[in-house]
Structure 1
Amino acid sequence: MSETESAAARSEAVQQIMRGTYEALCERGYADLRMVDIADRTDLSKSTLHYHFDSKHDLLLAFLEYLYEDFERELAAIAGDDPGERLRELVRTAYHDDDDGREELRVAILEIEAQAPYDDAFRDRLRRFDRLLHDVVRSNVEEGKETGRFRRDVDADAVATFVATALTGAHNRRVSLGVDTSDVETMLLDYLDERLVEDGSD
């Protein structure tokens, strides 16, 4: 096997492992997850998993990276010439994804988030999600200010912090408590219109 073929085989194995981790987390959750549960959902052996990842912890760190790349692509796919509409689409995306069949995964991720105060590696990975969301909101607000779409006195960092906090908090309440947080979407959209746009209208 050539070096290129070997790298491709490793890449395919890792992709299988990530897909298996996704399925196993959805079915078993974080606390009960075992390496064998992941292997059972792939064409690979448990020893092959350990060849790529020394422990469940290392594998889950890689899985968070995998999810981060997916999140990055999802945010990048929000297109359009108007930064205001892109921000509204970001909020809609966050609140209209309840029917995508990933509720079990969200519960498992919430379990991982609960470990973050005690685990620097988990915390660092999760901070990347928060920083990306914050930066996407901030860059859209800055663009809106530069193009005259938004008021120039708006603090882009403060808006980004508020939006990211509201989205994350509503998400966690929905997942952990089963609370209907759909009103938060409406209030965030109103906030974006009233706080950012000079006349409070499109």
Structure 2
Amino acid sequence: MSADETPDQSVPDEVHEELMAATYRALCAHGYAELTMQRIADEAGKSKSLLHYHYGTKQELLVAFLDYLFDRFEARVAATEGDAPETRLRVLLDKMVPDGDYDGDYDRFGLALNELRTQAPYVETYRERVARNEAVIRCRLADIIREGVEKGDFREVDADRTASLLFAALDGARLQRVAVTDPSGTETASQSAFDAPTEVRAALDEFVVENLVREGGDE
């Protein structure tokens, strides 16, 4: 694509979904540093020219991918609307930890996403998306806590501060795990760091969520 051309952003929904799924698989398989448009195209079974036609550059495609992750997160949050605040809070926290004892995609994708985040200070579009996505997660957590307080399900707490604690604890635990785990997921330099997300998740239930919940609506 020449410098004076712009990508066609009107990507059909089905094609966009397919290419975003291929980007996810390519990131898991190769990591951010080794990710190329050709590898994404290979995962999708499409031509590299199609990716350039719709997204322009790898950077623009990854910005679209971060938007895709954001939209999926919002959809998961929306799916819990109408549930009790405690249920919604636990479901949202569960989405931030591995699914089962070993979740290879959690480790491989977590490492790739962390690599992408390290580029955010140098790439404005990455920085904007990362900041927005993380702010929205904290905001959604705070909204759920605030709703629980207003309904009398939760004790009176500072919702924003509590949400920041929950997010920082699980995000930090995820970083601990990806930092000590081989990308193949077969080796870890520290079992305690590898277990950090699930251990921190359990601790948050015990020391934060359980203390939020008001027994029988009474203090």
- RMSD of aligned alpha carbons: 2.5
Aligned partner letter, 2:68: Y
Cα distance in structure 1, aligned partners of 2:144 and 2:130: 22
* Match in the other structure for 2:4: none
Cα distance in structure 2, aligned partners of 1:120 and 1:9: 23
Gaps of 5+ in 1: 1-6
Cα distance in structure 2, aligned partners of 1:193 and 1:157: 18
Aligned partner letter, 1:125: R
Structure with bigger helix share is 1
* Match in the other structure for 1:166: 169
Q: Does the 8 Å contact 2:10/2:54 carry over to 1?
A: no
1:183 paired to 2:186: no
Cα distance in structure 1, aligned partners of 2:210 and 2:216: 5
**What TM-score comes out, normalization by structure 1 length?**
0.84
**Residue 48 of structure 1: CA displacement?**
1.5
SS of corresponding position for 1:118: coil
Query: Structure 2 vs 1, CA of residues 184 and 31 (structure 1 numbering), >3 Å: closer, same or farther?
Result: same
Q: Does the 8 Å contact 2:32/2:113 carry over to 1?
A: yes
Aligned partner letter, 1:24: A
Match of 1:88 among 77, 87, 90: 90
Cα distance in structure 2, aligned partners of 1:8 and 1:118: 28
* Match in the other structure for 1:192: 209
Match of 1:67 among 57, 66, 69: 69
**What TM-score comes out, normalization by structure 2 length?**
0.78
**Residue 49 of structure 1: CA displacement?**
1.3
Aligned partner letter, 2:48: K
Cα distance in structure 2, aligned partners of 1:43 and 1:8: 20
Cα distance in structure 1, aligned partners of 2:12 and 2:86: 42
Gaps of 5+ in 2: 1-8, 182-192
Cα distance in structure 2, aligned partners of 1:116 and 1:20: 22
**Residue 31 of structure 1: CA displacement?**
0.6
SS of corresponding position for 1:146: helix
Q: Does the 8 Å contact 1:193/1:200 carry over to 2?
A: no
Aligned partner letter, 1:32: E
Aligned length: 194
Cα distance in structure 1, aligned partners of 2:23 and 2:83: 37
Cα distance in structure 2, aligned partners of 1:187 and 1:201: 23
* Match in the other structure for 1:137: 141
Q: Deviations over 1:118-144 (max 9, x none)?
A: 222111111222122111111111111
**Residue 200 of structure 1: CA displacement?**
11
Cα distance in structure 2, aligned partners of 1:113 and 1:201: 42
Seq. identity, % = 40
102-111 vs 41-50, greater mean Cα deviation: 41-50
Query: Structure 2 vs 1, CA of residues 38 and 83 (structure 1 numbering), >3 Å: closer, same or farther?
Result: same
Q: Does the 8 Å contact 2:11/2:54 carry over to 1?
A: no
Cα distance in structure 1, aligned partners of 2:16 and 2:52: 11
